[in-house]
């Protein structure tokens, strides 16, 4: 994904995946998962998301909106909605 705000309207299967853009300090990307299934969000290797390796990714449940902040070179931090 390259946009600042991204919407996933259809996740064809559980754990369908998306990939964040390059982690540049100060960058943020919002992902709204409006599909019926959980998605897996990946970064670009060797980045991490909340300390989790990009190759593993993090789950984002259906109906959740998350903003991913690049807090340092290669380090994404996720703020997840209720």
What is the block-wise mean pLDDT of the chain (82 residues), using blocks of 10 residues? 92 83 95 94 93 93 96 94 81
> 75 in helix, strand or coil?
strand
What pLDDT does 10 receive? Answer: 85
CA 19 – CA 40 distance, rounded (Å): 8
pLDDT of residue 39: 95
**Burial of residue 68, with CB atoms counted within 10 A of its CB: 0-12 exposed, 13-18 middle, 19 or more buried:** buried
Instruction: Please state, in angstroms and as integers, the Cα–Cα distance from residue 27 to each residue in 6, 22, 61, 63, following that order.
Output: 14, 9, 23, 23
Residue 40 is predicted with a pLDDT of: 95
């Amino acid at each position: 994904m390259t946009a600042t705000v991204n919407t996933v309207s259809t996740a064809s299967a559980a754990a369908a995946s998306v990939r964040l853009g390059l982690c540049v300090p100060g960058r943020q990307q919002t992902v709204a998962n409006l599909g019926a299934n959980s998605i897996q969000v990946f970064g670009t290797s060797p980045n991490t998301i909340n300390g989790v390796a990009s190759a593993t990714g993090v789950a984002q449940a259906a109906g959740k909106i998350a903003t991913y902040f690049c807090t340092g070179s290669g380090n994404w931090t996720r703020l997840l909605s209720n």
